[in-house]
Structure 1
Amino acid sequence: MAVDIEQRKKWDIRPGNIVRVWQKIKEKGKTRLQAFEGMVISHKHGYEPGATFTVRKVSDGIGVERIFPLFSPNIEKLDVVRRSKARRAKLYYVREKAAREIRKKMKQIKRNAVVDKGEVSESDTDKNSDGEK
């Protein structure tokens, strides 16, 4: 159950990114993977052993936030679904905003990337969600 610390430091967890976190769940002696997909609204304590990141999603009209320890052995992998550039380090203001307003605030970055075992492919084209630069 050892965690590869250097691999976890390469994960691109930035506020505004939409990520899918795969977490190990033990039920009745079996282990399965459960995905939690949402927007990263904060990343705290850098890459020290107590580092955490908060992911928020809206499920059936109710906002759900989970705080994940970065170096938890229960996190199997992390997929970056969509990247966007935020102008703030902590995006707590999205709790009160509608989804349309949030999309306008975030600057979308077109990249094809899956962060799993160090494989990353990227194209550095920046594009605003409205199609403007």
Structure 2
Amino acid sequence: MSQLLDLINQEAKERRASFPDFAAGDTINVHVKIREGNKERIQQFQGVVIQRRNAGHNGETFTVRKVSNQIGTERIFPIISPNLDKIELVRRGKVRRARLFYLRGLSGKAARIKEKRA
């Protein structure tokens, strides 16, 4: 039984290592596999990470928020999902919080996040 858990934990660790390090405030582009009938395609979802939950554990998830046509959309992705193809880091954001739920109440220029300088 413990060998099975060790195998699962090892696979999860490798999967986590294949993605770039990102945190709340970063803008990322998530490539998700979508199945429609018997076809499979890749859909991109680009937005700001507003939270990461259970970081370092198998149940780790992250929430990405984007605004298109003045409508805010949020998606929650499990980091160990087989439907995640890849994650691209577009830009790093400079924030002082781990949870950016206050962005839900902001719109337009007020919802901008400064870019972290390298």
Pick the TM interval, shorter chain: 0.7 to 0.9
Give the match for residue 90 of structure 1: 99
Corresponding residue of 2:3: none
TM-score (norm 2): 0.83
Structure 2 residue 43 is the aligned partner of structure 1 residue 34: yes
Whether 1:54 and 2:54 are equivalent positions in the alignment is no
Q: Deviations over 1:52-104 (max 9, x none)?
A: 0000001211100000001101000000111112100000000001231232x
Q: Hey, what does 2:14 align to over in structure 1?
A: 6
- The aligned length equals 108
Question: What is the identity, as a one-letter code, of the residue corresponding to 1:73?
Answer: P
Please give the alpha-carbon distance, in whole angstroms, between the structure 1 residues aligned to 2:66 and 2:96.
Answer: 20
- Percent identity over the alignment? 44
Q: Which has the higher helix share?
A: 2
The answer (yes or no) to whether the contact 2:15–2:80 under 8 Å persists in 1 is: no
| Partner residue, 1:108 | 115
Q: Mind listing any 5+ residue stretches in structure 2 that lack a counterpart?
A: 1-7
Q: What CA distance in whole angstroms lies between the structure 2 residues aligned with 1:12 and 1:25?
A: 24
Amino acid at match of 1:107: K
**Structure 1's 57 and 93: CA in aligned 2 closer, same or farther, altered over 3 A?**
same
CA contact (8 A) 2:12 2:58 kept: no
Task: Identify the match of residue 78 of structure 1 among 83, 87, 103.
Answer: 87
8 Å contact from structure 1 (residues 13, 43) kept in 2: no
Describe the SS at the equivalent of 2:111: helix
Shift of 1:7: 4.3
**TM-score calculated relative to the size of structure 1:** 0.74
Higher RCO structure, 1 or 2 (CA under 8 Å, sep 6+): 2
